[in-house]
C-alpha cells in the first residue's frame, strides 16, 4: 500500500519522544483503481495533534516499491 | 460557458495545485502539468464523489485534458452541455 496524498492537513500540536500516537481513520470511500480515501486525526491522549481532511492511499504491486540492485548494494 | 466545465476546472486545478485560470480546456495534464497516475485517480475520485457517478477505470486513460474529462463525465452524467 502506498500513501499517496494528504490534503487539508491541520497541525494542532506537537508530539514528543515517549508519546503514544493514536491515529483515528474513517474510510470515506473507495475510489477508482482501488484507491481509498480516508479522513482522520492523530491524538496523544486527549490532545489532538493533526487533522487530515483527506488522505489517499493506493495499492501497487510489491515490485514497484522494492529498491533496485543499485540502491540495495 | 458551461457551468459543469468550470466546476471540473476547479476540481482539476485543486488536485494539480494550480489556479483555475491556469487550466486550459485542451492542455494535456501529463505533458503540460506533469500530472501522474495518482493525480489522475484523485481527479476521477473527486468527480465521482461530487456528481455521484461511477465512471469505469478504463476511462482514465482518455481523461488527459479538461475537455476530454468534461466529455466523458457528461456522457455518464447525462449532461447536455
Best mutation target, B14, B36, B37, B38, to test chain A (most A CBs within 10 A): B38
Respond yes or no on whether ipTM tops 0.85.
no
Are the C-beta atoms of residues A23 and A15 closer than 8 Å to each other? no
Residues B59-79 pLDDT 10s: 999 999 999 999 999 999 999
Nearest CA of chain A to the CA of B43: how many Å?
A: 10
Residues A6-34 pLDDT 10s: 999 999 999 999 999 999 999 998 988 88
Instruction: Report the candidate in B1, B6, B8 with the shortest Cα–Cα distance to residue B76.
Output: B8
The whole model's pTM is what?
A: 0.80
Round to whole Å and give the CA distance between B81 and A3: 36
Q: Kindly list the distances between the CA atom of residue A61 and the CA atoms of A1, A33, A39, A64, B30, in Å, as whole numbers in the listed order.
A: 9, 13, 24, 6, 22
Q: Is B41 close to A37, i.e. CB distance below 8 A?
A: no
Q: In the predicted model, is pLDDT for residue A42 greater than 80?
A: yes
Amino acid at each position: 500500500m502506498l500513501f499517496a496524498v494528504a490534503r487539508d492537513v491541520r497541525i494542532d500540536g506537537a508530539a514528543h519522544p515517549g508519546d503514544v500516537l493514536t491515529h483515528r481513520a474513517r474510510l470515506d470511500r473507495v475510489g477508482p483503481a482501488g484507491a481509498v480515501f480516508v479522513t482522520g486525526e492523530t491524538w496523544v491522549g486527549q490532545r489532538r495533534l493533526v487533522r487530515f481532511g483527506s488522505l489517499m492511499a493506493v495499492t501497487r504491486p510489491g515490485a514497484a516499491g522494492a529498491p533496485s540492485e543499485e540502491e540495495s548494494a | 460557458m458551461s457551468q459543469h466545465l468550470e466546476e471540473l476546472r476547479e476540481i482539476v486545478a485543486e488536485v494539480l495545485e494550480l489556479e483555475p485560470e491556469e487550466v486550459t480546456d485542451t492542455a494535456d495534464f501529463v505533458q503540460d502539468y506533469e500530472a501522474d497516475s495518482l493525480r489522475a485517480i484523485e481527479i476521477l475520485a473527486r468527480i465521482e464523489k461530487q456528481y455521484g457517478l461511477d465512471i469505469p477505470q478504463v476511462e482514465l486513460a482518455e481523461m488527459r485534458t479538461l475537455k476530454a474529462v468534461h466529455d466523458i463525465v457528461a456522457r455518464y452524467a447525462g449532461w447536455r452541455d
